[in-house]
Amino acid sequence: MSTEVAGSPPLLAVESVDVTLGRGWRANQVLSGVDLDVWPGEIVGLVGETGSGKTTLARTVVGLVNPRRGRIVFEGQPISALRRGARRAERRRGHVQLVFQDPLRSLDPDLTVAEIVAEGLRIRGETDRDEIRRQVTRALEQVGLDATMLERTPGQISGGQRQRVSIARALAVEPRLLICDEPVSALDASTRNHVLRLLDELRTSLGLAIVIISHDLSSLAGIADRVVVLYRGRIVEDGPVDRVFATPRHPYTALLMASAPSIRQHSVRHDRPFSVHQLRGASSGPPPAGPGGCVFADRCPFAADACAVQPPLEAVGERWSVACHRHEEWGALAQIATRQEGPAHAR
Amino acid sequence: MPDFGEVLRLDDLHVSVHNGAATAVRGVSLRVRPGEIVGLVGESGSGKTLTCRAVLGVLPPGCAVERGTVSFGGADVTSLSRRGWERLHGSELGAVFQDPASYLNPVLTVGGQLTEVLRVKLGLGRRAGHRRALELFEAVGLRQPEQVFHLIPAELSGGMLQRVMIAIAISCDPQLLVADEPTTALDVTIQAEVLELLRKLREERGMAVLFVSHDLAVITQLCDRIVVFYAGEIVESGPAEEITQQPRHPYTQALLRVASVGDFGRRELEVIAGQPPRVGADITGCRFAARCPAAVPECAAGPVRSVPVGDQHQARCVLAAREVVTT
């Protein structure tokens, strides 16, 4: 669980960040008013569909993208305001590290594991060979790989080992925050759980804060403390993972959950409060929301007149907030509709 | 078992890789009946995709059917000529893959690409082809088909592209649709919609589907029958309900433990200890024995046969075979 001390400042604070990619007529607002705090030792799951801005948010945090408005504060220092040399120096320090989805494409196929893991140290300015060797071995040990891996190339090891190498590469520079962009979606179920367990252990043993970007909600349920749901560049729900998954307060979160595949047959799944059909927008396709409206309104079966205005992220519980005008009503509406639909259509 | 009414039948299929240096698929036998959705599940490298490619007659370079037969609608197609396969593709056999964008021409409209299939395969005229294309787009749940018709692949989302691919695959009413990880690259909400679409098409058209995925949860949602692959062999096959409720092979049991349960509860994340054997590794006896928690000395003694453990339910396990003998 989160080791947050009451009143302690967050490790990372993303403060009302807007990001626009492209210029002129191509300009596309990817993130709007995103607020996100991450405390040390916490695992935050960031969920959303393709194009919701998850990856852009990760890139903004590490400084690969500049926010148009708002700021990124890391350990009390506003790093998004840093420019040129100061920015480069901050990045070289490697306090924030990224781990990518597909290790086969994000690791250089011509380098050995030892060289890949040492790269961050060299960039930081480490020159002592023995010291580098020691750090590399330590990082590989932390992810459960032994020294026999050192001289192999990414093509010679399995998919799960590759993903562990890319985590070791990130750990070598002793980061405070790890951002994993879809770290397990290319992996088989067993390997996926292996990597997730590893991240969970690292959080405890190193006190790392970890942000896991994923579209697989059920694997997040296993390890995350908090879940943040992003939809078209806005946070629509942010709360403790067990409470959000027990009673989602935003219709989009509920839709994501109802859509997730499960090994239980539908016929024995009447425990789920809502059917997926009740959470999808009307099939005729409702009119798209005008500018300034709720981002989810055009897909939301519960959209009302009030939804022509973007709802603010409101607190609905302890450290739990939702951006929905109808967060108190839609659940009851969906339940009634699901009951009317009956078990015959449950499939 | 009567052999009439089979769309697809594989008998003792062996596929070699690396120009014959290793055998990646070893003795796969399975059948698909009309209107049935059969799911192949297994870890990467288990041979499910190669099996599927052998069914389509599109094995990658260096791979070949070493032994065994592929029969389609009762006719042996194992050594069919390229021409012969071309006749089957589209009209009898449809295919959908993981990455729809790489199977479509990026500079032609999606409508044009679908119409091309209709004109070549069914000999439809320009006008009739257009009409039929719109109907198909409608059938796969694309809204505003007239507008979608004139778009190029880059203008469509991943989910829409996969629907276009499905429309092309079913355009000539094939008897069998082969779907290799068609939803792996899609968002969960879109994935659920595509799975529903496949089930609807099966019901409307009586089309059989051979569905491949590494995700047991997806397979369970969709399929009537599940075939579990491990290291190039079928280790268990049977009705979906039975496989998930009463799995008999330890590997299937392990897969079920690591799969997404979908209850969103916090729980211990389980793993299967060890690594699968190298592709083509020579192992006497059970190929899963090294990772199996229930392994006994007998497992490594000799080849393990698949035994019936229920109605239409088979498992390749020494322990399951023992129970069959004693009862």
Asked whether the beta carbons of residue A189 and residue B220 sit closer than 8 angstroms, the reply is no
**A301 — pLDDT class (breaks 50, 70, 90):** confident
For B264, the closest of A188, A196, A221 (CB atoms) is A221
Residue B76 near residue B307, CB atoms below 8 Å:
no
Tens-digit pLDDT profile for residues B276-304? 888 888 888 999 999 999 999 999 988 89
Q: Do A49 and B187 touch (CB under 8 A)?
A: yes
* pLDDT, mean of residues A82-99: 87
Which run of H or of E encompasses A38?
Answer: strand A28-38
User: Of A196, A221, A263, which has the smallest distance from its Cβ to B244's Cβ?
Assistant: A263
Whether B43 shows a pLDDT value over 70: the answer reads: yes
Average pLDDT, chain A: 86
In this prediction the pTM is 0.88
Helices (H), chain B: 48-56, 82-88, 110-122, 126-139, 145-149, 158-169, 188-205, 216-222, 240-245, 250-258, 318-326
Sorted by sequence, the CB contacts under 8 Å of residue B230 that are 6+ apart come out as B42, B43, B46, B251, B276, B287, B288
**Confidence check: pLDDT of B180 > 90:** yes
Read off φ and ψ for residue A299, nearest 5 degrees.
-110, 0
Is B271 close to A194, i.e. CB distance below 8 A?
A: yes
pLDDT of residue B178: 96
A345 vs B: CB within 8 A: no
Looking at A88-92, A201-205, B75-79, B321-325, which range is the least confident one? Answer: B321-325
Closest CA to A241 of A270, A280, A214: A214
Distances (CA, A) of A2 to A76, A220, B148: 19, 15, 48
Contacts of A158 in chain B (CB under 8 A): 275
| Tokens linked to B152 | 């190029």
Residue A270 has pLDDT above 50, yes or no: no
Q: ipTM of this predicted complex?
A: 0.85
Per the DSSP assignment, residues forming a β-bridge with A47 are A214, A229
A287 has a pLDDT exceeding 70: no
**Triad A249, A253, A258: Cα angle to 5°:** 115
What per-residue confidence (pLDDT) applies to A288?
53
**Cβ neighbours of residue B12 closer than 8 Å, sequence gap 6 or more:** B27, B28, B29, B67, B68, B69
Element (H, E) at A14: strand A12-21
**pLDDT for the residue B261:** 67
What average pLDDT does range B182-211 have in this prediction? 91
- Gap from B149 CA to chain A (nearest CA, Å): 18
A47 touches chain B (CB under 8 A): no
Contact criterion met (CB < 8 Å) for A265 and B220: yes
Type of residue at B46: S
Contact at CB, A263 and B262, closer than 8 angstroms? yes
| CA–CA separation, B137 and B151 (whole Å) | 13
Q: What is the DSSP letter of A258?
A: H
- The whole-number average pLDDT for the span B119-143 is 93
Of A108-112, A202-206, A333-337, B46-50, where does mean pLDDT reach its minimum?
Answer: A333-337
Contact in structure between A10 and A65 (CB atoms under 8 Å): no
Burial class (CB in 10 A: 0-12, 13-18, 19+), B253: middle
Q: Tell me whether A188 touches chain B (CB under 8 Å).
A: yes
A179/A95 Cα distance (integer angstroms):
11
Phi, psi at residue B82, to the nearest 5°? Answer: -60, -45
pLDDT band at B195 (very low <50, low <70, confident <90, very high): very high
A87 confidence band (pLDDT: 50, 70, 90): confident
pLDDT given at position A7: 66
Residue B275 at interface with chain A, using a CB cutoff of 8 Å: yes
Name the average pLDDT for chain B.
90
Q: What is the pLDDT of residues A146-196, one digit of tens each?
A: 888 899 999 888 888 899 999 999 999 999 999 999 888 878 888 888 889
Sign of CA dihedral A134, A135, A137, A141: positive
